Structure 1
């Protein structure tokens, strides 16, 4: 049938590059890449430690922090800026990100005009649309509207991406017990059914068009009515979706590094760790929402930086260890003899750095050293200090003045277009 044909023709692996045209992510198989999420209503101020409305400076800082963190692989905006023309906030957020990171960007758009603006900016950065198509550093994003509704806007975005030969993530955000069945299996079945029309449309436009399925699958907490980002069911659903996508041989979009907690605390750490471990274990490919707090309402750089530490820890677990004649080190065991030691062994010196993961924020000092030498700081204290240090001191890899002028020209045209549309609508109302 049509659906089976579309799934077969869609690519099982998609290569996404960085801003400089170097291969950055091989999206497919069990390769897992982590990054923040988009469109949060609030942003956690890193100095006042209170939530507020996001601004474009926050998008710049998110990109800068992502560029610095070695376990964060791609960038999303972590908040819709409120200090610009509202209908163009998606475009301004993209400019803020692309000017502050070399890493790949996953981004959304309000409508087709904004999609065009964003791709035009990306093409200006890449050196033209053809160069962007050859080495895309941008993956577009579109969502259905559960249950089982696909707006013209959502489908048009899938068509647009296929025509532009750019990767797109086409997913639902399903809420078990609210917009999907209360059973987890039913939620996965409905959610995947909602991804497939995007696959069909993209392949009808052009066979082999790069498209990624998956999404955000969770439950509604029946006590508070929030969409829970920290529930065990949330983790199980993400793993289930990844499993089915692997069976279909399609790249999958996942979710992790998020929490229902409002602050950087034990709950935030526990929920983040569980979801990151589950995402990596299940082989989800592009895993977003690292840095989400308050059930997705608030974007937090503290949560993002903590997520980087947890991702590093989880990757060490997932990578496992090599077993061969050298690593079994039988000769070393014999050499040390009963009652001996391996601390002074050259074998230890050569191998301990490769075999052992070292944390940046988790504490391993003895109590007396932690108290007297390390200032008795908690993990949270250290994360907050490091976050502020990155924002204040890290030199982001900015674009050239020429490219920035081209981007500003695109934004100016977009402002003029939206002003005309507003004026036309306003006159009709009068």
Structure 2
């Protein structure tokens, strides 16, 4: 069976699920929207036929630009690039002493600075790690305030409820010339997901509605885990996840046609010995493959997890699992590479050491992904004839002129060493400290800062919490 035939069969299975079983939406708002747009609504179950669904999927753009405050970092989503995206959601960090502990606002801002200093990343923010010293009612807006003040790249939203999401959009409007200008094009990106199997929660619906209102993109992924929240067979699990993703994207188009959307991962694996989800597993790479293929099938940009591992600390397991998932993302041509650097222990922990190694991995994958130049200068036929049999190219002008752009030069990675462990650790520390020294708080007009703080304060974010962010952004701490 060809791959195209497999995609068609998965599509057909998803269409059957959507038309016959339907998706549970415990949201009167969503039920009304679907009913008005031709779906069959019975209780809180939404059933939708293929022609109606595909009509709305077709309204989502296949390609769109997310504009950064600094245009240098604009993102061409769906244009064939591989965009590094921060890791997301860890409640713990493994600090420089090797201790794993609850993460703090200082940890969050440390990783914000690392990412801002590196041109490898065009996107900054999200839940880099959870500032656990703050209560749930304020922490989302606190992270968002830090992202808006600390980054000039594409703004990645931390997850919140409807009120928090609306406040985040209004805070961003302060930096982009007001609401109308903000809505004119994509400026942020947001993650949403389903409650598998075949369910959405009201919070997800409310967030999608707000994002559609502001015309801001979201990445939709499913909560399907093989054998736990979906069939243990990968084809069956992918069909369920695909149905959920398509339903959520269609809902956004019903609310506001043209709302940008990114197709996320339809399935994750499970360890049946422990009944736990696993992420640094080959099943995740299958999910990446089908996310990429199905996204192209539907004309949507795609998202995958780049460097993830179930290992609890930087180790050989971290290395091979991160390499496996990163390679899958590049090989399949995904656009939005979530969890590019630092994530370990099944998303539970962030590690500065792993962050540094993952950035090196991302750079190597970019090098492998590019093609070589084949022209008169690169073929160097005249040089080879001049150098002759048994000649030496080391001191040639051609070598001096081309070696930096032709050969990969690692910032982390030893090729000759008599004290590998210590020298490797020293390279990591040097790399991380260099990034922190490079970081500078982006310039922002005083009236923009005032508007930002006013909007945040009106929604309950205390002034002293914002002051704490300002101090940490200015502070030159090199370790956590």
Normalised by the size of structure 2, how large is the TM-score?
0.80
Q: Name the residue aligned to 1:404.
A: 449
Q: Name the residue aligned to 1:242.
A: 292
Change (3 A) 1:101 1:270: same
Between the aligned partners of 1:175 and 1:165, the Cα distance in structure 2 is 30
1:317-328 pair list within 5 angstroms: 317-328=368-379
Between the aligned partners of 2:337 and 2:323, the Cα distance in structure 1 is 13
Change (3 A) 1:151 1:63: same
Q: Name the residue aligned to 1:428.
A: none
Between the aligned partners of 1:363 and 1:166, the Cα distance in structure 2 is 43
Which shows bigger deviation, 407-416 or 230-239? 407-416
Structure 2 portions without partners, runs of 5+: 1-50, 463-480
Query: Any conservation in 2 of the 1:192–1:214 contact (CA below 8 Å)?
Result: no
Change (3 A) 1:165 1:48: same
Between the aligned partners of 2:310 and 2:165, the Cα distance in structure 1 is 31
* Aligned residue among 107, 118, 136 for 1:69: 118
Query: Any conservation in 1 of the 2:61–2:258 contact (CA below 8 Å)?
Result: yes
Between the aligned partners of 1:196 and 1:359, the Cα distance in structure 2 is 41
Change (3 A) 1:285 1:147: same
Shift of residue 226, structure 1, vs aligned partner = 3.2
1:302 is aligned to 2:345:
no
SS at match of 2:219: strand
Structure 1 portions without partners, runs of 5+: 418-430
Shift of residue 406, structure 1, vs aligned partner = 2.4
Between the aligned partners of 2:274 and 2:433, the Cα distance in structure 1 is 33
Query: Any conservation in 2 of the 1:56–1:96 contact (CA below 8 Å)?
Result: no
Q: Name the residue aligned to 2:189.
A: 139
Q: Name the residue aligned to 1:164.
A: 214
* Aligned residue among 326, 329, 352 for 1:276: 326
* Aligned residue among 78, 88, 99 for 1:28: 78
Which shows bigger deviation, 249-258 or 21-30? 21-30
Shift of residue 21, structure 1, vs aligned partner = 4.6
Shift of residue 395, structure 1, vs aligned partner = 2.6
* Aligned residue among 152, 169, 174 for 1:119: 169
Which shows bigger deviation, 403-412 or 346-355? 403-412
Shift of residue 22, structure 1, vs aligned partner = 4.9
Between the aligned partners of 2:91 and 2:351, the Cα distance in structure 1 is 11
1:97 is aligned to 2:144:
no
Q: Name the residue aligned to 1:341.
A: 392
Q: Name the residue aligned to 1:214.
A: 264
Shift of residue 97, structure 1, vs aligned partner = 1.8
Shift of residue 380, structure 1, vs aligned partner = 4.1
Change (3 A) 1:326 1:387: closer
Which shows bigger deviation, 130-139 or 33-42? 130-139
Normalised by the size of structure 1, how large is the TM-score?
0.89
Change (3 A) 1:392 1:55: farther
SS at match of 1:175: coil
Between the aligned partners of 2:411 and 2:73, the Cα distance in structure 1 is 27
Between the aligned partners of 1:216 and 1:98, the Cα distance in structure 2 is 31
Aligned length: 410
Pairwise CA RMSD: 2.2
Q: Name the residue aligned to 1:355.
A: 406
Which shows bigger deviation, 327-336 or 255-264? 327-336
* Aligned residue among 278, 291, 309 for 1:259: 309
Query: Any conservation in 2 of the 1:34–1:286 contact (CA below 8 Å)?
Result: yes
